[in-house]
Amino acid sequence: MNNPIKILYLFDHYPTLYQEYLATLLHQIKRQLDVKVLTYNNAKKADYSVISYGYSDKLQRVKHKLKISKHPSLDIKIMNRFDIIHLQHSYLFPKLQPFFKEGIKKPKIIITLRGGDTYVKPWVFEKWKTFYKTNSKFIDAFITVSEHQKEYLQKWGVSKEKIYVIPVSFGNKTNVKPKYPSKNTIKIVSAHRMCWEKNIEGNLRVIKALKEKGYSVQYDIFGDGPDKGQLFYLRDKYRLTEEVNYFGKVENQLFKNKLSSYDFFLQLSVSEAFGTSVIEAQSFGVPAIVSNSGGLPETILPNLTGFCLNSWDIETAKDKIIGLYSDKEKYFQFSKRAIENSHSKFSTESEIQSLLKLYKSLGAK
């Protein structure tokens, strides 16, 4: 580009190894575009750190009240230096309130939505419903991670023309080889936030059904959240203390290092925008058993890289796992296609190309 577009990414906290997909994306895209980062905490890696009502911000607000400056706060002053503002943590949208006015000159605004901000929060919080219905007209583009999320977002009054589907990426392509299933023990993994949307009980009931069928099974769960107590209670109730292992929240790279040792990724969510961990697992050749909720069906090739079924259909999940585990050559083909599909559609490179196209289209207006 002859005149590089200046882009500012807004985060609450700078992405860390616990958000490796964001950190990887940021690192890669900075190589191709003039991208700076603003966070709302003291982050050494950020280009700008703004503490709301901290000394610098208070000073800027006083200047605005005295009509010495036209910018009402320090972050808005910084944002106005850029062509495009890309809000990565959507719950920060109130920070953009000064831009929600007719007839003012402002940067182009993009907001990435990742799940709960589309499926749950507008049902519960009036500010989210009002934002979509009243103020979405001031946003130039919303990014959803799946076609299903795009469709659902329109329920709240967001124009279809403003919604762009860009799936989350699993990371960089690697030289991964397809695999055969483990011997003797079916090894299954899940990784998600411990909350009601993830259907913790449904997943455990699949493990219970496999055990009752006489199979040796190992089920490892990664993640943290408000409902992890449910996991411990149900593990005890269903007598799965030997089969189910809980590891809590771990760094993403540690999780990825273990993925290839599993036979299946299990995610029977009742609500899901997409499923980053599902594509991470497939990128290591691990077939997925997912529900037909939200954008999860878009993460696999049904009956080729995994299986898609109703979130409550425990028996079918059990039968699909046993069937594929028992057919080593068929399993190998699933593993092979899983790697090919994830690498062709969901790599960081693919996500960046989609973002570049969007940035250029907005910057050209």
Res 259 pLDDT > 60: yes
Mean pLDDT computed over 29-53: 89
Decide if pLDDT at 112 tops 50: yes
Residue 44 has a pLDDT of 81
Query: Tens digits of per-residue pLDDT, 280-330?
Result: 999 999 999 999 999 999 999 999 999 999 999 999 999 999 999 999 999
For the chain, list the domains and their CATH numbers: 6-168+347-363 (3.40.50.2000), 185-345 (3.40.50.2000)
What is residue 277's predicted lDDT score, i.e. its pLDDT? Answer: 92
Please report the pLDDT score of residue 2 as a whole number.
58
pLDDT at site 173: 80
Decide if 146 contacts 165 (C-beta within 8 A): yes
* Whether the predicted pLDDT of 1 surpasses 50: no
Residue 365 has pLDDT above 50, yes or no: no
Signed CA dihedral, 13, 17, 21, 27: sign only? positive
| Residue 27: band (very low, low, confident or very high) from pLDDT cuts 50, 70, 90 | confident
Mean pLDDT over each residue of the chain, to the nearest integer: 93
- The rounded distance, in Å, linking the Cα atoms of 332 and 178 is 6
Of the chain, the end-to-end C-alpha distance in Å amounts to 14
Alpha helices in the chain (DSSP H): 20-29, 55-65, 74-79, 116-119, 121-124, 126-130, 147-153, 200-212, 228-237, 252-259, 276-283, 314-326, 328-345, 348-363
0.85 exceeded by the pTM? yes
Strands (E) in 235-298, as ranges, are 244-248, 264-267, 288-291
What is the pLDDT at residue 3?
A: 67
Cα–Cα distance for residue pair 183/196, rounded to 1 Å: 33
Alpha carbons 267 and 108: distance in angstroms, whole number: 36
Q: Tell me: pLDDT of 146 over 90.
A: yes
State yes or no: pLDDT of 21 exceeds 80: no
Instruction: Determine the longest span between alpha carbons in the chain, in angstroms.
Output: 76
Between the CA of residue 354 and those of 78, 283, 295, 311, what are the distances in Å?
26, 20, 18, 31
